Structure 1
Amino acid sequence: MSIELKVRPRVWIGLAIYLGYIAVVFTVQLVSGVRYDELGASGSNLFFGAGLSLIIATVLLALTTTLLGWWRPALFDRHRSVRWPIIAPILMAVALVFNLISTDWGAFDGAFLAAALVILLVGFTEEITTRGLLLTGLRSRLSEGWVWFLTSFLFGAMHLLNATGQALGATIQQVVFAFIAGTVFYILRRVTGTLIWAMVLHGMWDFSTFALSHGTPGPLAGIGATINLIAGVFALIAVAFVIRGTDERTPVNEGGRP
Structure 2
Amino acid sequence: MKKSEHQLRVTPKVWIGLLIAVGYLFIILPIQKLSGIPYQDFGASADNLYHSAIISMAAGAIALIIVTSLLGWWRPALYDNTLQRWTYKWPIIAPLFLLLGAIANLFSTDFSNFDAKFILILITFGLLVGFCEEITYRGLLLTSLRSKLSEGWVCILTSIIFGLIHGSNIVLGQDILTTITQFFFAALMGFSLYIVRRVTGSLIWAMLLHGLWDVSVFMSEYSSADNNGLGGLSIMVAAPLSIIFLFIVFRKIKKSEANRAS
Do the structures match in fold with TM over 0.5? yes
Q: Higher relative contact order at CA 8 Å, sep ≥6: structure 1 or structure 2? A: 1
User: AA paired with 2:132?
Assistant: T
CA contact (8 A) 1:91 1:228 kept: yes
Shift of 1:12: 0.6
Q: Does 1:102 align with 2:132?
A: no
Shift of 1:37: 1.3
Q: Which residue of 2 aligns with 1:84?
A: 90
CA contact (8 A) 2:77 2:138 kept: yes
Q: Which residue of 2 aligns with 1:145?
A: 152
1: CA distance between counterparts of 2:239 and 2:130? 18
Shift of 1:221: 4.3
Give matches, 1:215-226, under 5 Å: 215-218=223-226, 220-226=227-233
Shift of 1:241: 2.9
Q: Which residue of 1 aligns with 2:257?
A: none
Q: Which residue of 2 aligns with 1:163?
A: 170
1: CA distance between counterparts of 2:160 and 2:79? 21
2: CA distance between counterparts of 1:221 and 1:51? 30
CA deviations 1:14-68 (Å, max 9, x no partner) are 0110010010010111111111011122211111111111111111101111110
Shift of 1:113: 2.1
User: AA paired with 2:148?
Assistant: R
CA deviations 1:103-132 (Å, max 9, x no partner) are 121111333223212211100000000000
User: AA paired with 1:2?
Assistant: K
Q: Does 1:131 align with 2:138?
A: yes
CA contact (8 A) 1:104 1:214 kept: no
* TM-score relative to the length of structure 2: 0.89
Shift of 1:243: 3.2
Structure having the larger proportion of residues in helix = 2
CA deviations 1:171-213 (Å, max 9, x no partner) are 1000000001000000111111111110110011111111111
Shift of 1:134: 0.5
1: CA distance between counterparts of 2:225 and 2:85? 38
Q: Which residue of 2 aligns with 1:74?
A: 77
1: CA distance between counterparts of 2:138 and 2:250? 14
For structure 2, the 5+ residue unaligned runs are 255-262
* TM-score relative to the length of structure 1: 0.91
1: CA distance between counterparts of 2:215 and 2:188? 18
CA RMSD of superposed structures (Å)? 1.4
